[in-house]
Amino acid sequence: MSYQISIQKTQNPKSKPDADKLGFGLHFTDHMFVMDYTEGKGWHDPRIVPYGPITLDPSCMVFHYGQAVFEGLKAYKAADGRILLFRPQKNMERINISNDRLCIPPIDVDFAVEACKTLVNLEKDWIPEAEGTSLYIRPFIIATDPFLGVRPSLTYQFYIILSPVGAYYKEGINPVKIYVESNYVRAVKGGIGFAKTPGNYAASLKAQMDAKNIGYTQVLWLDGVEKKYIEEVGTMNVFFVINDEVVTPSLEGSILAGITRASTIELLKAEGIKVTERKISIEEVYEAHAAGTLKEAFGTGTAAVISPIGELNWNNNKIAINDGKIGEISKKVYDTITGIQSGKLKDTFGWIVEV
Ligand SMILES: *Cc1c(COP(=O)(O)O)cnc(C)c1O
């Protein structure tokens, strides 16, 4: 199937936000991509239209039963003016993994990457250029049947919206304090934890708020059955450096397979560092800390890339990791991935797609 993207340009371009007041997810560009799905007809009518509110029937299935998926990636402007995307096919492959779990029809991966490129290219003046800034890309799909029965929708809309975002770390990389959650759980095997779907976020808010109220940035989730094994941290995958081994929880169906996670593993292996994907218990981390072998801990995700963990609190038992400073491996991964993303370092992995 071949698609032709129609483009309707805005008559009222917005003024761009100040470069130093971008924040995250606050500003949106002039245009968005939309495509429809109708049972029997498939995905059709791909178009770029002025960004703005959309009209949906209040009975649309997405509002009632949460049948929706999303993605997140970034476009960077290199010093030489090139526009770079970081592994966009991986995001569009993953949206199909999420689609499958949520009974949403798959999209054409290559076409979705093409749509992304077309939109980013049209909005290239919105890509901020200061160090650490980027254009955040949010593809998402929603169920649009106006119907209150419980079944998969027969119609959907696929959107891509863009948001210029500021540098995650303005004053150097600050390690975060993490609360180990032993009351609430995020997901269980067999559930939807491996899908990037809004329900997982709705389920996480309560724990997140409780942790914030007592001074923690995010929670570290434990497995939903025994509350013993480490899952992920907030909206990031998590890594621990114990002795000379880097350990990250294996993908068992309840955590998201992060693209930053996969890139971190690939990068460390290329550096000759031992990386193991396996079950790791919170007890093992505390024991390693007591034995002096827990060297670093960090989260990985598109927003921050690497977020070093400086403190863990598990049932009021607090431990400081690497004296609350960023570790050598965390720093190396951060510098390499952000260097490749921004075009400063040579991309020896074939991760970059030029717009
Ligand atoms: C998106 C996401 C991540 C990080 O994935 P990346 O592809 O690295 O951005 C981790 N955990 C959850 C729950 C997520 O939704």
Q: How far is the CA of 81 from the centre of ligand 1 (A)?
A: 28
Would the pLDDT of 1 be above 60?
no
Q: How far is the CA of 257 from the centre of ligand 1 (A)?
A: 7
Question: Are the CB atoms for 143 and 60 separated by under 8 Å?
Answer: yes
261 in ligand 1 pocket by Cβ < 6 Å?
A: yes
pLDDT at 345: 97
> Which of 138, 208, 237, 351 gets mutated to test ligand 1 (max ligand atoms within 8 A of its CB)?
237
Confidence grade of residue 77 (pLDDT, cut at 50, 70, 90): very high
Of the ranges 35-39, 83-87, 128-132, 314-318, which one carries the lowest mean pLDDT score? 128-132
Whole-model pTM: value is 0.96
91 in ligand 1 pocket by Cβ < 6 Å?
A: no
Buried b (16+ CB within 10 A) or exposed e, 223-249: bbeeeebbbbbbbbbbbbbbeeebbbb
Residues 6+ apart with CB under 8 A from 148: 59, 64
173 in ligand 1 pocket by Cβ < 6 Å?
A: no
Would the pLDDT of 269 be above 60?
yes
pLDDT at 149: 97
| Residue percentage of the chain with pLDDT more than 90 | 94
Beta bridge partners of residue 165, listed in sequence order: 134
What ligand 1 atom has the least distance to the C-alpha of 257?
A: 5
pLDDT at 239: 98
Ramachandran bin of 170, using left for φ above 0, alpha for ψ from -120 to 50, beta for the remaining angles: alpha
> Which of 94, 185, 255, 256 gets mutated to test ligand 1 (max ligand atoms within 8 A of its CB)?
256
pLDDT at 29: 98
Of the ranges 161-175, 240-254, 324-338, which one carries the lowest mean pLDDT score? 161-175
Nearest CA to ligand 1 atom 5: 258
Nearest CA to ligand 1 atom 13: 235
258 in ligand 1 pocket by Cβ < 6 Å?
A: yes
Residues in the chain: 355
196 in ligand 1 pocket by Cβ < 6 Å?
A: yes
Average pLDDT over residues 46-55: 98
What ligand 1 atom has the least distance to the C-alpha of 73?
A: 9
pLDDT at 331: 95
| Mean of per-residue pLDDT scores for the chain | 96
| 24, two tokens | 């995250």
74 in ligand 1 pocket by Cβ < 6 Å?
A: no
Q: How far is the CA of 241 from the centre of ligand 1 (A)?
A: 20
Residues 6+ apart with CB under 8 A from 299: 176, 218, 232, 233, 234, 236, 237, 238, 239, 306, 307, 309
Q: How far is the CA of 258 from the centre of ligand 1 (A)?
A: 5
pLDDT at 170: 74
Q: How far is the CA of 148 from the centre of ligand 1 (A)?
A: 31
237 in ligand 1 pocket by Cβ < 6 Å?
A: yes
Question: Are the CB atoms for 221 and 233 separated by under 8 Å?
Answer: yes
Neighbouring C-beta atoms of residue 56, cutoff 10 Å: 13
Which residue ranges form the domains of the chain, and what is each CATH number? 6-166 (3.30.470.10), 176-342 (3.20.10.10)
Q: How far is the CA of 38 from the centre of ligand 1 (A)?
A: 29
Q: How far is the CA of 198 from the centre of ligand 1 (A)?
A: 12
Burial class of 155 by CB neighbour count within 10 A (0 to 12, 13 to 18, 19+): middle
Average pLDDT over residues 221-241: 96
Would the pLDDT of 237 be above 60?
yes
Q: How far is the CA of 221 from the centre of ligand 1 (A)?
A: 14
Distance CA 297, CA 76 (A): 27
| 124, two tokens | 């290239």
Nearest to 282 by CA among 212, 334, 219: 219
Would the pLDDT of 159 be above 80?
yes
Would the pLDDT of 174 be above 90?
no
Question: Are the CB atoms for 237 and 301 separated by under 8 Å?
Answer: yes
Q: How far is the CA of 15 from the centre of ligand 1 (A)?
A: 31
Nearest to 220 by CA among 183, 275, 246: 183
Residues 6+ apart with CB under 8 A from 168: 24, 132, 303, 304, 305
Burial class of 304 by CB neighbour count within 10 A (0 to 12, 13 to 18, 19+): buried
Confidence grade of residue 168 (pLDDT, cut at 50, 70, 90): confident
Q: How far is the CA of 157 from the centre of ligand 1 (A)?
A: 22
Would the pLDDT of 299 be above 70?
yes
What ligand 1 atom has the least distance to the C-alpha of 302?
A: 9
Average pLDDT over residues 161-183: 90
pLDDT at 20: 86
| Residue percentage of the chain with pLDDT more than 70 | 99
Average pLDDT over residues 58-72: 98
Confidence grade of residue 2 (pLDDT, cut at 50, 70, 90): low
Would the pLDDT of 40 be above 90?
yes
pLDDT at 167: 86
Confidence grade of residue 3 (pLDDT, cut at 50, 70, 90): confident
Would the pLDDT of 256 be above 60?
yes
Distance CA 279, CA 258 (A): 17
Would the pLDDT of 171 be above 80?
no
